[in-house]
C-alpha cells in the first residue's frame, strides 16, 4: 500500500524550511533550517541527507514539497529527485487537492496555504479558520461546504519588528515577547507592545470580521512560529497545531499517488 511508504515532506518558506518524515500516516520526526537567499541543488541534497540521518531514517521512498520562494523551487525539486531517486510531487498547478476554490485566481494561492487548508479540513472539519504565523501572517478560511473561501495576508510579527528597527534609526531590534503591560515605560517595552500586542489585537479583530462574514462560528487553528505563545494571548480560543502544513503535504501526497 502506498500509505505505508516513507515520505519526506518539505515546506520551503521565506524564512524557514521545515522537513517532515512520515512512516505511513505517522509523522516520525521534523527538521527545521533557515531558508538561505541562495542555495545549490548539491547543498540542498546535503541538507536532506543530514536531516534524514539525524531523524534516524534511511532514504525515503518518495517526497512532496511546497515552496513559496520561486528562486529555490527548482533547486529543491532537483535535490529531492537526486536524493530519493524519483520524481517528487510539487504543490502547484496540476496537483490534485480535492479543494473547491472560491478564490478569484486559484493559481495565486501559495502552496503552503493549500497544505494548511487540506490538513485543517481533514482534522477539524468545515468550516474552519487557520492562522499561519511566519514571515507573513496568513488567515485561511474554509467555508461550511469545505471550499477554500479566501483569507488575509499581512506582515508577520518578526517582519514588523525588523521594519521598525530598520526604518527608525533610534529604535533597536527587540526580543519578540509580550510586555507585562500595554503602556510601555521604556522604548523596548513600548515596541513590544506595539508589535506583539498589536499583532494579537489585529488577529483578534480580523477573526471577528471573518466570523461575521461567515455568519457562523468556526474553530480557529494556529500554526507556525510562536503559535503556542500567540494562542495564549488571543481573546478568541484557538487550537495549536505545529505540524499542520507538513501533514497537509502528506495528505496531498497520498491523494495524488493513489490516483
- Tens-of-pLDDT digits for all 259 residues of the chain? 444 799 999 999 999 999 999 999 999 999 999 999 999 999 999 999 999 998 888 899 999 999 999 999 999 999 999 999 999 999 998 899 999 999 999 889 999 999 999 999 999 999 999 999 999 999 999 999 999 999 999 999 988 888 888 888 788 888 888 889 999 999 999 999 999 999 999 999 999 999 999 999 999 999 999 999 999 999 999 999 999 999 999 999 999 987 5
The pLDDT value given to residue 1: 42
Instruction: Compute CA distances 190 → 47, 174, 234, whole Å.
Output: 40, 10, 19
Cβ-Cβ contacts under 8 Å for 28 (sequence gap 6 or more)? 6, 21, 22, 55, 57
Is 247 annotated as a binding-site member?
no
Is 113 annotated in a binding site? The answer is: yes
pLDDT at 214: 95
35 is in an annotated binding site: no
Angle between helices 157-167 and 198-214 (to 10 degrees): 130
Query: Does the annotation place 84 within a ligand binding site?
Result: no
Residue 103 is predicted with a pLDDT of 92
Per the annotation, does 14 bind a ligand?
yes
CA nearest 133: which of 111, 148, 116?
Answer: 116
Provide the H-helix boundaries in 125-186: 157-167
- H helix intervals, 97-195: 111-124, 157-167, 187-192
The answer to whether the annotation marks 124 as part of a ligand binding site is no
Please check if 29 is assigned to a binding site: no
Per annotation, catalytic residue among 112, 116, 143, 241: 112
The confidence score (pLDDT) of residue 168 equals 84
Q: What pLDDT is attached to residue 259? A: 55
Contact indicator for 131, 139 with CB cutoff of 8 Å? yes
- In whole angstroms, give the CA distance from residue 170 to residue 178: 21
* DSSP class of 224: E
Instruction: Evaluate whether 45 touches 63 at the Cβ level (below 8 Å).
Output: no
103 is in an annotated binding site: yes
Q: Is 112 a catalytic residue?
A: yes
Amino acid at each position: 500500500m502506498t500509505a505505508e511508504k516513507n515520505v519526506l515532506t518539505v515546506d520551503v518558506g521565506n524564512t524557514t524550511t521545515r522537513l517532515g518524515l512520515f512512516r505511513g500516516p505517522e509523522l516520525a520526526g521534523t527538521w527545521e533550517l533557515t531558508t538561505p537567499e541562495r542555495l545549490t541543488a548539491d547543498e540542498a541534497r546535503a541538507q536532506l541527507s543530514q536531516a534524514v540521518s539525524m531523524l534516524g531514517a534511511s532514504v525515503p521512498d518518495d517526497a512532496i514539497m511546497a515552496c513559496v520562494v520561486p528562486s529555490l523551487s527548482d533547486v529543491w525539486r532537483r535535490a529531492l529527485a537526486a536524493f530519493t531517486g524519483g520524481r517528487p510531487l510539487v504543490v502547484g498547478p496540476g496537483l490534485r487537492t480535492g479543494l473547491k476554490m472560491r478564490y478569484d485566481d486559484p493559481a495565486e494561492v501559495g502552496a503552503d496555504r493549500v497544505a494548511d487548508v487540506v490538513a485543517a479540513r481533514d482534522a477539524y472539519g468545515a468550516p474552519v479558520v487557520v492562522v499561519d504565523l511566519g514571515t507573513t501572517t496568513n488567515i485561511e478560511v474554509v467555508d461550511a461546504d469545505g471550499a477554500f473561501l479566501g483569507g488575509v495576508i499581512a506582515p508577520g510579527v518578526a517582519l514588523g519588528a525588523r521594519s521598525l528597527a530598520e526604518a527608525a534609526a533610534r529604535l533597536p531590534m527587540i526580543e519578540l515577547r509580550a510586555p507585562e503591560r500595554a503602556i510601555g515605560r521604556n522604548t523596548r517595552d513600548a515596541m513590544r507592545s506595539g508589535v506583539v500586542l498589536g499583532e494579537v489585537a489585529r488577529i483578534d479583530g480580523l477573526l471577528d470580521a471573518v466570523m461575521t462574514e461567515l455568519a457562523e462560528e468556526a474553530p480557529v487553528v494556529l500554526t507556525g512560529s510562536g503559535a503556542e505563545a500567540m494562542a495564549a494571548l488571543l481573546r478568541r480560543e484557538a487550537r495549536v497545531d505545529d505540524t499542520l502544513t507538513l501533514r497537509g503535504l502528506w495528505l496531498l501526497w497520498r491523494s495524488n499517488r493513489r490516483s
